[in-house]
Each structure stands twice: as C-alpha cells, then as structure tokens.
Homo-oligomer: A and B are copies of this chain.
Amino acid sequence: MKLVKNAAGRLVPEKINGVKQVPFKGIGKYKPKGVKAKPSIRTCADYPENGNKIVKSLREALKKAGLKDGMTISTHHHLRNGDTLTNYLFDTIKSMGVKNIRWYPSASFPCHQHLIKYLDDGTIHHIEGSMNGPLGRYTSQGKMKGMGVLRSHGGRYQALQDGDVHVDIAVIAAPTADPFGNATGDRGPSACGLLGFALGDSEYADKVIAVTDNLVAFPCIPWQIQGNNVDYVVEIDSLGDPSKIVSGTTQVTKSPDRLLIAEYVAQFLEDSGIMKDGFSFQAGAGGTNLAFALYLKERMIKKGIKARFIRGGSTKYLVEMLEEGLTDYILDGQTFDLEGVRSMRENANHVNTSPFTSYNYHGKGNFASILDATVLGATEVDINFNANVVTHSDGYLLHGIGGWQNCLFGKCTILAIPSFRDRIPVIVDEVTTLVGPGDLIDVVITERGIAINPRRKDLLKAVKGSSLPIKPIKQIYDEVIELCGGVPAKPKVNKNKVVAAIKWVDGTVLDSVFQVEE
C-alpha cells in the first residue's frame, strides 16, 4: 500500500480499493473539473401506468433490480439504532447467495453488529460510511476485506453527485410511503422525522427500492423522497424499533463540568456579540449541546433577542424556542426526539433540509457557511486546533464524521469539549486522526478555559474584557497533561495497514486510520 503525504502533512493512501485518489490539497484548494454523475434516462413506458410499483417482497425487489456480486448497495441511518431493515436487507442478500457487496450507508450503528458475520463471510466486502461502535472496532482490527471510507454527510452527497461512488441499488427505509414511491419520515409507526440522508441516493442510484411499514394511498404528503425517483415499493411489517429511532425525551447533561462548558459557550456567544437579533446557530443533541441551548435561550430572553434560524438535530428544546418565538425557523437535518418529529410534521417553520442544501461542498454554496455559530464536539483537539471526531486516543475507530466537517465552515466554529475524559486528555499535542483542519476551528471551550484560534484576531478582540477564562490552548494543554499524569502513550498501530480513509468535504483524502495492534 503506497502512502503519500498530503497538504496537511498526513500520510494517505494513493489508492483506495484500487481507485486512484486525490490527496487533500488545502481548504478550498482542490477545484473539481468535469461533470456530475450521469443517471440513465428512464421512460414511463417501463413503469406501471397506474403508478403502483409495489412488489411482494424485498427479495423480489432486489431480484428485479438486478442484484449481483460486487454491487454497491446504499442505506440511510434515519432509523438510527432502531434500524432492523438494514439487517433484514443483508439477511436477504445473504440468502440470495450474493457476495462482495460494497455497503454505502450514511452511517452504521451498534444495532448493525449483526452484519459482522456478513463481513466475515464475504457477503459484504467493505463499508463506505460512518462506522459507529462495533463495526468501527472490527475495522480497526484490520478484519474488513476492503478499506473503509469515511465521509461527512456533505461528502457523501458530493461523492454521489460527482460520480465518485456509483450506487447500484438504494434501499430507503420509508416510515410512510405510497405505491408510487413518494415517501416521508415525519409520520407512521417508525417515524424518524425526515429522510434527507437518502436524497442523494434517490437521485443518483440506478435502482431505488422504498421499503415501508406504513403504506398510504397516493399521494403520500409530504414527499420528502419523490416517487419519480423510485423503482419499487415493498411493504414489510416493521422497519425497526421506534423507541430507538427517536427518543421519547432527550436529556440535558447533569455533569457539573459539562454544564460549565455549556454556560461558557452561551456566554461566549453573548460576550463576542454573535448573539444578536437575526443571528443563527447550530446545536446538536448531545447533553452539553442541549444545556448550551437552554443557557443561550435564557440570555436571548433576557436581552430580547430573536434568532433568524437554528440548525438542528432538533429536540424538544429547539422546538420550544421555535414555538416561543425565539427563532423564525428551525432548519433541521435530523430529528432526535418525538417533539422534533411532531414539530416537523405540524409546523411549516420547522423545515426539513438535506445534505444537498446544507452541506454539499460541490454545490453553488451551501447553508453551513451561512451560520453565525456552530457548536460541535470532538474526541481530540490538538494545540494547533486540529480536531478528531472518529478515533479515540487508543486508535480505535468508533465514530462517524456526520455533518461535523461540513459545520466547520460556519462563521464561528466552537468545539465544546471536556479537557479530558476518563483521565485521558482530549487536548493533545497531535490528533490521532485529522478530521478537521485547525484553520477552520475558531474556539475551543473546555471546563478549564477557553482557547481562541490566534487566526481569529476579531474574536480575540471582541471578547476583550469578558469575564470568560480565555487562555492560549497550549496553557490548557499543559494543565491537562499535568492533571492526567503526563502525555499518554500513542496508540500502537500498523503504519503499513490503512483500514479506513478519511475524506475531506471535497472528496480528497485527508487522513488515514491505521490498524490497531492488539
């Protein structure tokens, strides 16, 4: 395996699964040439005139779609850890004797541990997509036949759009669908909110199968996925476990340290002047993030400030802000709890978005860079503000990139993180895996201090005189290292064996994940 050094100084594979790659060239430096992927032209003459595309089983649909060895099959992760469809899909593929599938999920979850046997027996050749938990560990152990590829949500859309990845068959879990293939995620027993992660698949895959456990008469409204892009519709008993698809409730952190971080983030937005009428921010569903939103809300009410829009991962906390008039809109990428799903279904100002609108770097702009502030997490940040979200300091690949890389393009990117976890420093000298270049990370907020990237002189100036504990990142690093009893050992990895590649938002290769030596 030949490795080359890219513009970030990281060693990356020249080829991934036999295909030549472009190494990362720097932010905004790689200019794509060429044209978008070219789906085949279809004709209505080949589809049922009455619009009824129902076939009797998933097996039948896969057969009609021409499933064969070596194909690329895509799925989406809106059902999260409640997804039973994907496991059923690969059970079916296995039973059909088909081998060497490239699986292109938008993410995988612990529930997909079921698929390890299919990675072992060659049904699945390799995974391109976030590998959260067990599949990530399996990959880190060097057991996967091909090389994994991790992309951001935007990067996944970009790869479909640009033809970097051609999907033969997309399988879309549709909480509600009609016989024509129009589908929505905002209602039905397996409601997950929206289906944006499957949009690119529906547009660019050769064959698209919508699988539903809630078939309604045409038209399924809203049509988050358009039946005009769907080939077959399959009805099954259940897509998954609703309690694991969305939470009944989302929980704010109770940890005093995390609450402090959340309070700092809110204060930072106020003191820096970012929190002003018509501003926008992104907040996720982690415990710290939820707490931040609540603290910010208090400050907004106190100052009489209204946001123009909030980007979710929506939760009941964001929904309350919308309903209480603290924001005009929620622009939502995925709903995390039942209140988020309800709001999206009922409130026209709770808008569903997609990786195309929000994150695709190979578009005519996207929403991510318009945000005034984005608040994100990380597994590691180094003293040059480079950050990691996919591996732990022991080298194991345990998380996906999600929209994280895409959100780095916001006007003020804040990592809200504890300075250490389980006595392991989160602020490090050099990240195990580079997922976000330091040039795009503006502020690191920990329980023991706030570091502003020296490049952001404007922010340093804006918070001058604030009571916030602003320090150089090196100072926080030194404190943490002392507290944790010294610099931890580097992970033992095999530098000759790349198990997964980290793509940048433009499709270039940013870093490598190496096999962990156990």
9 A-B contact pairs sorted by A residue (CB < 8 Å): A28-B43, A32-B43, A50-B411, A51-B370, A53-B365, A218-B309, A221-B329, A228-B357, A228-B360
Q: What is the chain B residue whose CB lies nearest that of A207? A: B364
Q: What is the chain B residue whose CB lies nearest that of A356? A: B228
A219 B364 Cβ-Cβ under 8 A: no
Partner of A41, one of B34, B218, B349: B34
B161 A41 Cβ-Cβ under 8 A: yes
* Contact pattern, A 318-344, Cβ under 8 Å of B = 1, otherwise 0: 000000000001010000000000000
Q: How large is the interface on A (under 10, 10 to 19, 20 to 34, 35 or more residues)?
A: 35 or more
Interface presence of A254 (CB below 8 A): no
Name, among A38, A219, A348, the residue most crowded by chain B CB atoms within 10 Å (CB to CB): A219
Interface presence of A83 (CB below 8 A): no
A228 B364 Cβ-Cβ under 8 A: yes
Interface residues of A in 268-311 (CB under 8 A from B): 278, 308-309
Interface presence of A361 (CB below 8 A): yes
A309: which B residues are within 8 A, CB to CB? 218-219
Q: How many copies does the complex hold?
A: 2
A45: which B residues are within 8 A, CB to CB? 28-29, 31
Interface presence of A493 (CB below 8 A): no
A39 B35 Cβ-Cβ under 8 A: yes
Name, among A45, A47, A349, the residue most crowded by chain B CB atoms within 10 Å (CB to CB): A45
Interface presence of A90 (CB below 8 A): no
* Contact pattern, A 214-231, Cβ under 8 Å of B = 1, otherwise 0: 000111011100111111
Q: Complex: how many Å from CA A281 to CA B484?
A: 72
Q: Complex: how many Å from CA A229 to CA B356?
A: 10
Interface presence of A253 (CB below 8 A): no
A219 B351 Cβ-Cβ under 8 A: yes
A227: which B residues are within 8 A, CB to CB? 357, 364-365
Q: Complex: how many Å from CA A231 to CA B409?
A: 19
A32: which B residues are within 8 A, CB to CB? 41-43
* Contact pattern, A 85-105, Cβ under 8 Å of B = 1, otherwise 0: 000000000000000000000
Interface presence of A518 (CB below 8 A): no
Interface presence of A44 (CB below 8 A): yes
Interface presence of A442 (CB below 8 A): no
A41: which B residues are within 8 A, CB to CB? 32-36, 161-162, 362
Interface presence of A506 (CB below 8 A): yes
Within the complex, what minimum Cβ distance (angstroms) separates A369 from chain B? 5
Q: Complex: how many Å from CA A251 to CA B276?
A: 50
Interface presence of A48 (CB below 8 A): yes
Partner of A348, one of B223, B228, B348, B362: B348
A364 B40 Cβ-Cβ under 8 A: no
Q: Complex: how many Å from CA A175 to CA B378?
A: 42
* Contact pattern, A 244-270, Cβ under 8 Å of B = 1, otherwise 0: 000000000000000000000000000
The answer to whether A366 and B308 touch (CB under 8 A), given A33-B41, A39-B36, is: no
Interface presence of A422 (CB below 8 A): no
A221 B351 Cβ-Cβ under 8 A: yes
Interface presence of A180 (CB below 8 A): yes
A44-B363, A221-B351 given; name 13 further pairs at CB < 8 Å: A28-B43, A44-B361, A44-B362, A44-B365, A47-B364, A218-B309, A219-B308, A221-B329, A221-B349, A222-B351, A228-B365, A229-B363, A229-B364
Interface presence of A458 (CB below 8 A): no
A357 B506 Cβ-Cβ under 8 A: no
* Contact pattern, A 135-177, Cβ under 8 Å of B = 1, otherwise 0: 0000000000000000000000000011000000000000000
Q: Complex: how many Å from CA A483 to CA B429?
A: 96
Q: What is the chain B residue whose CB lies nearest that of A372? A: B50
Q: Complex: how many Å from CA A206 to CA B208?
A: 28
Within the complex, what minimum Cβ distance (angstroms) separates A332 from chain B? 12
A219: which B residues are within 8 A, CB to CB? 308-309, 329, 331, 351, 367
Within the complex, what minimum Cβ distance (angstroms) separates A312 from chain B? 14
Within the complex, what minimum Cβ distance (angstroms) separates A358 from chain B? 9
Q: Complex: how many Å from CA A228 to CA B411?
A: 18
Within the complex, what minimum Cβ distance (angstroms) separates A347 from chain B? 10
B36 A217 Cβ-Cβ under 8 A: no
A506: which B residues are within 8 A, CB to CB? 43
* Contact pattern, A 354-385, Cβ under 8 Å of B = 1, otherwise 0: 00110011111111011000000000000000
Interface presence of A237 (CB below 8 A): no
Interface presence of A82 (CB below 8 A): no
Q: Complex: how many Å from CA A97 to CA B181?
A: 49
A53: which B residues are within 8 A, CB to CB? 365
Q: Complex: how many Å from CA A43 to CA B29?
A: 10
B51 A369 Cβ-Cβ under 8 A: yes
Interface presence of A49 (CB below 8 A): yes
